[in-house]
Chain A
Amino acid sequence: MKIFRILIKYEWLNFRADKGLLILTALTLFAGLYGIYYGTTEIERQRENIAALDVLTEHNVEEMKVKFLGDADAGDIGYYHSTFAVNHPDSWASLSLGQRDVNPYYLKLRLLNLQSQLYDTENINPLKVLSGNFDLAFVLVYLFPLLIIGLCFNILSAEKEQGTLPLLLSQPISLPLVVGAKLTFRMMLVLGLALLLSVVAMVWGQVVPDVRIGIWLGVVLLYCLFWFGVAFLVAALQKNSAFNAVTLLGVWLLLTIIIPALLNVYVAVKQPVPQALELTIKQREVVHAGWDKPKRETMNKFFAHYPQWTDTTEIQGRFAWRWYYAFQHLGDVAVEDLARDYQESLQARHQLVAQLNVLSVPVNVQGIFNAMAGSDLPSHLAFLQSASRYHDSLREYYYPFLFNQVAFTHADYDGEPRHSFTSSPDFATAYSGLVKLVVSVLLVYAVALLLFRVKEASVK
C-alpha cells in the first residue's frame, strides 16, 4: 500500500509538471462549468417564459372582458380566448436538457380542434438545434471520454517509449501495481472533476434532493470507469502511443457518433413514424369539409360521442357556435387513429432505441440522464396526453354554456380549468440503463484484464 501511495504521489508530480495535461483538464473543467451555466440558464429561461404565460392568459381575459363587456356567447369566448398547456421542467432538467429544446414546452390552446394545435407549434431555432445542447450531460457523455483518452492513451506506452520502464521495473514492484496506480491516479482526478461538476450543477440548479443524486453520481462514476476500462484495454494491447491514441479516438468516434447515427437510420427504417403533417392536413380537410355538410348529419355524428346533448335545440340559421365546435370536434375524431398511431410509433421508436442502446454506452448514458431529468421523449408524450386531457376539460367546461345556451359572464372566466404538468423522472428507464451500464463496465474490464494478463510478459 505504501508503494501504491508513492506511485500515486509521483503520478501527481508528473501530472502537475505536464502543461498539456493541465490545459486539457482545465478546458474540461471550464466546459463543464459552461455546461452547467447553459443548462441552468436555458431552464431558467423556460421557467420565465412559462411564468409569463400566466400573465398572457390574464391579459387575454382582460381583453375578452373589454371586447365582450356584458354577458357573452361562450362560442365567442371559446374562439377568441386562448389559454396554455405548460410542461414545467423537472428540477433536474438543467443537468440534462434532453429534448426540451426541440419539443415545445407549452401549447397555446383554444376551444377549436385539438390536433392541429398540438402539432402546429414551432418554437425552436433550427440553427440552435443543429449545434445541440451544451449542458452538463453533454460534457460528461461526450467530452469527458476525451479527457480520459488524453490522460490514458500513453499510460504504459509512454514508460516504454521514454525508456523509464526498465528502471522502474528493476524496483521491487510489479507491472500490475504500476498500471493500477497510474489508472487510480487518473480515476481520482477525472472522477473528482466529474463529481465536483455534478455537485455544482445540483446546487446551482437547486435540484430536489432525492434518490436521483445517488443514481446520477453512480452513473457518472460507472461511465468514467467504462472509458478507463476502454483505455486500459487498448493499453493492454502493448502498442505504441500513436496507435493507442488513434484507436481510442476511433472508439470514441464509433460509440458517440457512428453507432448513434447508424442506430438512427436503422430505427427510422425499422420503426417508421407517420408524419404529424399528414395528420394535420387530414384533420384540416375534415374540419373544412364540415362547413359544407348538412348540419343534421354533423350534429348526429357529434351526439354519438356526446349523447348528453342530444336533446338540445335544433341548429337554426346559417351558423351556430355549437355546430361549429361540433365539426371542429369531429375533425379530431376523424384523425383519432392517426394521432394514436403517431404517438404509439414515437413510443415504439423510443423503446427500440432503448433496446439497441446496449450497442453504445454513451447513447445509453444520455438516455439515463434524460430519463432522470424528465426530458426524454416519453415525458414529452406524457405532456401531449396531459394537454389533450386539458383540452377535453375545456370542452367539458364550455359545452354546457354552448348547448344549454347559457350566457358566459365575466365571473365564468375564473371557473375555466387551468393546466399544469411537470415532467417527472422515468426511473424504470434509468434503472434498466444502469444495469446495462454495469454489464458494459464489467465486460470491458474482464476483457482488458484478460488481455493484460496474456500480454504482460511482453511488456518489458
Chain B
Amino acid sequence: MEFVLEAKQLSKVYQDKLALKGLNLQIRAGEIFCLLGQNGAGKSTTINLFLGFITPTSGAAYINGLEVARNVTEVKKYLAYIPENVMLYPNLTGLENLALFSSLAGFDYSKEELMEYLVRSGLPAEAASRRVGGYSKGMRQKVGIAIAVAKHAKVLLLDEPTSGLDPKASNEFSELLLRLSDAGTGIFMATHDIFRSKEVGTRVGIMREGELVDVLPAADLEANELEKLYLNHMHI
C-alpha cells in the first residue's frame, strides 16, 4: 500500500459555503503531515471527512486504500483520532475509558498493559483509577493519546492535539509522534502550532479558505521562514 491516507479532489460545501476546495493529498506510512491554517480554514472539515463524520460533496477520501464514504466503519480499524478537546465518560475511570475504547477497537488488554499505555502517555499512575470527571483537560488529553496509541492504527488523525498540554507534555507528545512515525504510522495533524509543525512534521501544508495553498518539506525550512510564509499566505 503506497499511501495510508489520500484525498482526491476532495470538496465539501455546507449550504452555500465552500468549506473544502478540491483537496489533493497523499500521506505515506511513517510520514507526518502538519496542516496549518486559521480557524475556519477547513482543517477540521478535512479531518471529519477522513473520519467519515461528514460525506464529501465531491471527490473522495481514502484511508489505507479504502474510500471512506463507502467503508465508513471499516476504515476506522486503520485510524486513530485525537480531537482538540478529548472528552471521556466522566463516570468511568481513566483505566475504564481506555479499556472501553481499546476493546471497541478490538484490543483486549490486561489491566497492567492498559496502565502502561496511560503512564507512557504521561498520566500519573495514581490518577488512572480515579473517575475522569475530576480530570483536568491535560489529563484527559493524555488518556486520549493513550487511546490512540493503544489502537496501533496505520493512520493517526490529530486535531490540535497539544491544546491543553503543558510545554513538557507537549514535548513528550512530539517525541511520541516521532516514535509512532518511525514505527510506520502515517500522521495527519491539524494545528496552529508552527514551531511544533516544523519540529515533528515531514511536510507542512498551509490551508486558507478551504484550499491547500502550499505544501513544503519541513526539513528545508527554518521555523522563522515557515512563520513568514504562513503569515504571507494569510495576508497578515
Contact = CB atoms under 8 A, between A and B. Distances in A.
A10 B96 CA distance: 9
Contact of B80 (A13, A168, A170): A170
Nearest to A164: B87
Contact of A170 (B74, B76, B96, B131): B76
A166 B147 CA distance: 13
Given A172-B74, A172-B77, A457 B87 contact: no
Contacts of A6: 100, 103-104
Contacts of A163: 83, 85, 87
B4 interface: no
A167 B144 contact: yes
A276 B53 CA distance: 68
B55 A10 contact: no
Interface string A185-205: 000000000000000000000
Contact of B81 (A14, A18, A162, A166): A166
Contacts of A169: 51, 53, 76
A173 interface: yes
Given A13-B92, A17-B91, A17-B131, A171 B101 contact: yes
Interface in B66-91: 72-74, 76-77, 79-81, 83, 85-91
Nearest to A14: B91
What is the interface of chain A mostly: helix, strand, loop, or mixed? helix
Contacts of A168: 101, 104
B114 to A, nearest CB: 14
A452 B163 CA distance: 34
A289 interface: no
Contacts of B81: 166-167, 170
A245 B79 CA distance: 35
A174 B90 contact: no
B89 A164 contact: yes
B105 interface: yes
A3 interface: yes
B54 interface: yes
A173 B91 CA distance: 22
A318 interface: no
Contacts of A10: 89, 92, 96, 100
A168 B73 CA distance: 12
B167 interface: no
Contact of B73 (A13, A17, A164, A174): A174
Closest CB pairs A-B (n = 7): A163-B87, A17-B91, A170-B81, A460-B53, A171-B104, A172-B76, A172-B77
Given A167-B88, A172-B77, 16 more contacts: A6-B103, A10-B100, A18-B91, A162-B89, A167-B101, A169-B53, A170-B51, A170-B79, A170-B80, A170-B81, A172-B73, A172-B104, A173-B73, A457-B54, A457-B55, A460-B48
29 contacts: A6-B100, A6-B103, A10-B100, A14-B89, A162-B87, A162-B89, A162-B90, A163-B83, A164-B87, A164-B89, A166-B51, A166-B53, A166-B81, A167-B81, A167-B83, A167-B87, A167-B88, A167-B101, A167-B144, A168-B104, A170-B51, A170-B81, A171-B76, A172-B76, A172-B104, A172-B106, A173-B104, A457-B55, A460-B54
